[in-house]
Amino acid sequence: MFRCNWAGTEYALRVVTTKNAKVAVVGASGYAGEEVVRLLLAHPHVDLVAVTSRQFAGKTLAQVFPRLSHHEKAKGLKFFDADPKQLAREAEVIFLALPHGLAAEFAKPLLQAGARVLDLSADFRVKDAAVYKEFYGHDHPAPDLLGQAVYGLPEIYRDQIREAKLVACPGCYPTSILIPLRPLIRRKAIDRKRILITSLSGVTGAGRKIEADYLFAECNESVRPYGVPKHRHLSEIEQELSNLAGEKITIQFTPHLVPVNRGIVTTIYTDLAGDVVEVDPALLFSGAYGQEPFVRLFGEERLPDSKNVVGTNFIDIAWKIDNRTRRLVVMSAIDNIVKGASGQAVQCFNLMRGFPETAGLI
């Protein structure tokens, strides 16, 4: 910032940015898509040039998302039924907020046309097409692209994301699990065979699915486990943990649905490694994340609470050593739609384009 004094008043001159990125969002009708749009409309270095949705084609952003209706751009920009070729002509970077299976089909022509793609679906997260089929129940629609996809978790893959053409944005549960576990796995502080994880998620985690299970009166005053014992996100969690460990890791994972709109709280049980005499998690975590813009370390002072992260891109992490059991219990909280999806996608986008990593996010 450059400050000067002119006619008795102080002015500050700031180099605001290099030129804006032209961006499109495909499938912007779900919760993650809406949130990407909201973040991009407020992003200082973005020109949102197109949004697509079969369902809402012909309507403006303002009509479909009344909470955005004050934006000039939202009043003018109309959804259209996505045509990859047209999109790639108009936009340099494209966010895909489509169901898995469909996303990969869209990514292909976009990448061929030279666009860079951030995919919020599960299509490019798992590197092994056989594992994809095991967990998602159908053949991978574009296995040839798996090699070039970068897993979009900046806390692990920051450098690769900068150069990526195709970013596979992580799932919400994996984000809440991998960030806390990474330093513990890397430093061999815990028994890799005995990791058990419980997560609690708000209802938007299921997307804007119009199913009886997600009606208000079915979720309100209801708490329930689901996806036991083999939730789909296990595929990417175990892949990434195994990468970190250099050996195959299998975990236990139980998600629960709780009646909040947004937020994931994850509780991770780990056995301290047998040969570890003394562990200082504070040192481990601050060493790993002291400089991370979106990781807040609560240590042993305060437990996480989803309400502290809702609407933000932060992950809050706390831990307790249980001397009775020699276990280290690590807890995290994120907003499943922001750090667990759209915010993290924008964080990756900032890296890809050389913008400040926090642009549009703080």
Active site residues: 172
For its own copies, the closer CB: 147 or 220: 220
Within 228-287, the residues that bind its own copies by CB under 8 A are 228-230, 250-252, 254, 256, 258-263, 265, 267, 269
Q: How far is the CB of 197 from its own copies (least distance, A)?
A: 9
State yes or no: residue 320 binds its own copies (CB under 8 A). Answer: yes
Element (H, E) at 275: none
**Does residue 11 belong to the site contacting its own copies (CB under 8 A)?**
yes
- By beta-carbon proximity to its own copies, the closer residue of 148 and 325 is 325
Q: How far apart are CA 158 and CA 165, in angstroms?
A: 14
Among 101, 109, 143, 311, binds its own copies (CB under 8 A): 311
Measured distance CA(348)–CA(236) in Å, rounded: 18
Residues that bind its own copies (rule: CB under 8 A) add up to a total of 84
Cβ atoms of 140 and 146 closer than 8 Å: yes
Considering the rule CB under 8 A, would residue 291 count as an interface residue with its own copies? no
Residues 18-77 that bind its own copies (CB under 8 A): 18-19, 31, 66-67, 69-70
Q: Does 303 bind its own copies (CB under 8 A)?
A: yes
Of 170-199, which residues contact its own copies (CB under 8 A)?
194, 196, 198
Query: Which of 95, 157, 289, 314 is the binder for its own copies (CB under 8 A)?
Result: 314
Asked whether 126 and 236 are in contact (CB, 8 A), the reply is yes
* Alpha-carbon distances, residue 179 vs 29, 244, 355 (angstroms): 29, 11, 23
- The pairing of strands 149-151 and 166-168 is parallel
220 binds its own copies (CB under 8 A): yes
Q: How far is the CB of 160 from its own copies (least distance, A)?
A: 24
Tokens representing 103 are 């996303």
Tallying the residues shown for the chain, one arrives at 362
Report in angstroms how near the CB of residue 161 gets to its own copies at its nearest. 21
Q: How close are the terminal C-alpha atoms of the chain, in Å?
A: 19
DSSP state of 165: S
Residue with tokens 């002291």: 290
Q: By CB under 8 A, what part of segment 132-171 binds its own copies?
A: none
- Contact criterion met (CB below 8 Å) for 143 and 127: no
Q: Is residue 308 a contact residue for its own copies (CB under 8 A)?
A: yes
> Is 302 an interacting residue with respect to its own copies (CB under 8 A)?
yes
Say if residues 173 and 344 touch (Cβ distance below 8 Å): no
Residue 10 binding its own copies, by CB under 8 A: yes
